[in-house]
Structure 1
Amino acid sequence: MYILNDNGRFISILSDYGFKATFGNEADTTFLKKALQALINSPCAIKTVEFVKNEMAAITIDSRSGIYDIACVDENENHFIVEMQLSEYPEFIQRMKFYALHRFNTMVKKGAYRFDNLQKIYCIGILAQNIFNEIADYHNIAILRNEKNEIIDDQLSFITLELAKFNKQLPDINTDLDKLIYTMKNLHTVTETSQFPTFWNEEWLKKAISEVDLRALTPEQKLAYEMAISANALAIKNENKKIEEAELEVKRMSIQKALKRGKLALDEIAEDNGVSLEFVINIQNEINTDK
């Protein structure tokens, strides 16, 4: 839905390559600065952004779901962690807390375990699937509040963006956040610039769009893009293989249990589990061998 369009001119921003080329563009942070400002709902423009090394090696690239994570700081030393999640992940908020608290602990250690004057941490999750089914809003900002909704602490902010909930049409697109979401969800479906909405001429969005325009890629960029596609295809193949193996193991356990009970015919066991009679007989032979 978000990743590939064989007839498209533009690479999806939600793909590994597209996300790195736009949000992770270290050479030009025009788009990133504006996108972060919109995502955290700040009236103040972010003047500078500096990428920092992500100290958690496990969250750099997750090829299983097409994720590329970035970490950066602004001119006020506020920290930003941005992660994109394409596949279903109901526990994603727990993952966000893990990332944010790891960054928090790092800051405290560097400050000789002092808790004063800590910079803010914004942990941003961009999700293709919904994780808060009971919440209608597609954009949520969570900080620590009491039962009266009074702010206790806003040093840690958790921002979630659930793309599947966003269904605004062009006449209703007004804010920078809505422009950002609309672009992420629809750019890869466009084939010609004549189809551009007017706000795609805004400088920050023009910068991002130019980075994922297949016609404008250099030979080196095209090679990187093709390699990313190849890597993702292999990762998906491997993941599907793992799923198939896991499903097969579940069937094996179910068949073993049925065989040991001895109440069903072999062909009935095969039919109930969606496997061949030969498969059931092989498992039966394994059981008899182990006796």
Structure 2
Amino acid sequence: MSRFVNPFTDLGFKVIFGQPASKGLLITLLNELLAGEHHIEDLCFLDKEDHADNVHDKGIIYDLYCRTDSGEYIIVEMQNRWHSHFLDRTLYYVCRAVGRLTELPPPDTIKIPVEKDTDGMVCESSVPYGSRYRLSTVYGIFLMNFKEDGLDKKFRTDIVLADRDTGRVVNPHLRQIYLQFPYFNKELAECETLYEKLMYALKNMNDWNRMPDALKEQVFKYLDQLAAVANLSEENRIAYDKAVDRYRVSRIVEEDIRREATEEGLKEGREKGREEGMKKGREEERLSNALKMKAKGLDYETISDITGLSIQEIEKLGIDDRRDEGKL
């Protein structure tokens, strides 16, 4: 068995990123993903029930919901196998989080002085209408252990709300980042940045018996301790073994589904090819017979009745062939 937990299992994902002890590792991951765009100093985990999944998603979707020290909300989700309407669901999650922002004021909201009437009640006209819609940014970050047909065939896809013609970001408060790990094919020697090294570790660590010497950054020493199977409590070790079993079953089911889909596609392709070949053969035979009848002097109406060809089609028979041979 590997020395490290599998991050693509529910308990492995939570051990690495979803417990108080792993907060620093999660902050490092997020800052690498958002480098040049945002820097997180601290964050807090929010109640899971605030972002509850459908009960049917259990064992498939593992996610975290947190808020940064400067007020951004971040959904971090790990999904170990494909399901239909995946992009729609992730958009729904992010939009649902955006919708909740109107219930809570941003942490840096400016206090607006209000006017009161003679009864001491706040005058509505004194509160700017648009102030209630001031939003914090919501990031949806989706780690995917599968390929999604709706995305380009690459590892990372960043989604923003932008003008289609100019590419200028119109509203920065909704962001989605999709990471398709099957497309991450770099070897460790090719990984130059901490971001690339983190992605490499997440994809491959379940196959390691020790942390590679090339991963010298402090974060990997922490990961070594945090993700070691031997360091799990007895309760978590039992839960992890069950999580690994679920993960293996889900991979087998996914492989079976993909294999059946491939075999069905090949079967349909062969059947379609045979049908098209037979159809073409029948058409060529019909034209050949009509040409022979025409050569024997049968009238066009008789040939049409026998072959089903139109008079115009029969009139053309032989002309195209002679033209190709340079006879016309």
Match of 1:117 in 2: 134
Counterpart mapping for 1:59-208 below 5 A: 62-65=57-60, 67-89=61-83, 91-111=85-105, 114-132=131-149, 135-146=152-163, 147-193=165-211, 196-199=212-215, 201-208=216-223
Question: What's the C-alpha RMSD, in Å, of the aligned pairs?
Answer: 2.9
Match of 1:13 in 2: 7
Q: Which moved more, 1:201-210 or 1:33-42?
A: 201-210
Q: Deviations over 1:247-287 (max 9, x none)?
A: xxxxxxxxxxxxxxxxxxxxxxxxxxxxxxxxxxxxxxxxx
Counterpart mapping for 1:137-286 below 5 A: 137-146=154-163, 147-193=165-211, 196-199=212-215, 201-229=216-244, 232=246
CA distance in 1, matches of 2:150, 2:100: 33
TM-score when normalising by structure 1? 0.70
CA distance in 2, matches of 1:172, 1:234: 29
Match of 1:32 in 2: 26
Q: Is the 8 A contact 1:108 1:114 kept in 2?
A: no
Q: Please state how far the C-alpha of 1:188 moved relative to its aligned partner.
A: 0.8
Q: Please state how far the C-alpha of 1:113 moved relative to its aligned partner.
A: 8.1
% identity of equivalent residues? 23
Q: Is the 8 A contact 1:61 1:68 kept in 2?
A: no
Q: Is the 8 A contact 1:63 1:235 kept in 2?
A: no
Q: For 2:83, give the aligned amino acid.
A: Y
Q: For 1:37, give the aligned amino acid.
A: N
Q: Is the 8 A contact 1:40 1:141 kept in 2?
A: no
- Distance verdict in 2 for CA 1:39–1:24, change over 3 Å: same
Q: Please state how far the C-alpha of 1:72 moved relative to its aligned partner.
A: 0.4
CA distance in 1, matches of 2:144, 2:151: 16
Q: For 1:228, give the aligned amino acid.
A: A
- Distance verdict in 2 for CA 1:145–1:37, change over 3 Å: same
Q: Please state how far the C-alpha of 1:29 moved relative to its aligned partner.
A: 0.9
- Distance verdict in 2 for CA 1:113–1:12, change over 3 Å: farther
Q: Please state how far the C-alpha of 1:102 moved relative to its aligned partner.
A: 0.6
CA distance in 1, matches of 2:199, 2:52: 28
Q: Please state how far the C-alpha of 1:129 moved relative to its aligned partner.
A: 1.0
Larger of the two Rg values belongs to structure = 2
Q: Is the 8 A contact 2:74 2:140 kept in 1?
A: yes
- Distance verdict in 2 for CA 1:236–1:86, change over 3 Å: closer
User: Where in structure 2 are there 5+ consecutive unaligned residues?
Assistant: 106-128, 258-328
Match of 2:306 in 1: none
CA distance in 1, matches of 2:171, 2:134: 13
Q: Is the 8 A contact 2:98 2:138 kept in 1?
A: yes
Q: Please state how far the C-alpha of 1:41 moved relative to its aligned partner.
A: 3.4
DSSP 3-state at the match of 2:170: strand
Q: Please state how far the C-alpha of 1:154 moved relative to its aligned partner.
A: 1.1
- Distance verdict in 2 for CA 1:60–1:157, change over 3 Å: farther
- Distance verdict in 2 for CA 1:106–1:75, change over 3 Å: same
DSSP 3-state at the match of 1:198: coil
- Distance verdict in 2 for CA 1:138–1:41, change over 3 Å: farther
Match of 1:272 in 2: none
Q: Please state how far the C-alpha of 1:133 moved relative to its aligned partner.
A: 6.4
- Distance verdict in 2 for CA 1:197–1:131, change over 3 Å: farther
- Distance verdict in 2 for CA 1:197–1:168, change over 3 Å: farther
Q: Is the 8 A contact 1:40 1:159 kept in 2?
A: no
> Is 1:56–2:51 an aligned residue pair?
yes
DSSP 3-state at the match of 2:53: helix
Q: Is the 8 A contact 1:30 1:207 kept in 2?
A: no
Q: Is the 8 A contact 2:155 2:183 kept in 1?
A: yes
Q: Is the 8 A contact 2:22 2:226 kept in 1?
A: no
Q: Is the 8 A contact 1:60 1:69 kept in 2?
A: no
User: Where in structure 1 are there 5+ consecutive unaligned residues?
Assistant: 1-6, 244-291
> Is 1:22–2:40 an aligned residue pair?
no
TM-score when normalising by structure 2? 0.62
- Distance verdict in 2 for CA 1:156–1:110, change over 3 Å: same
CA distance in 2, matches of 1:218, 1:165: 34
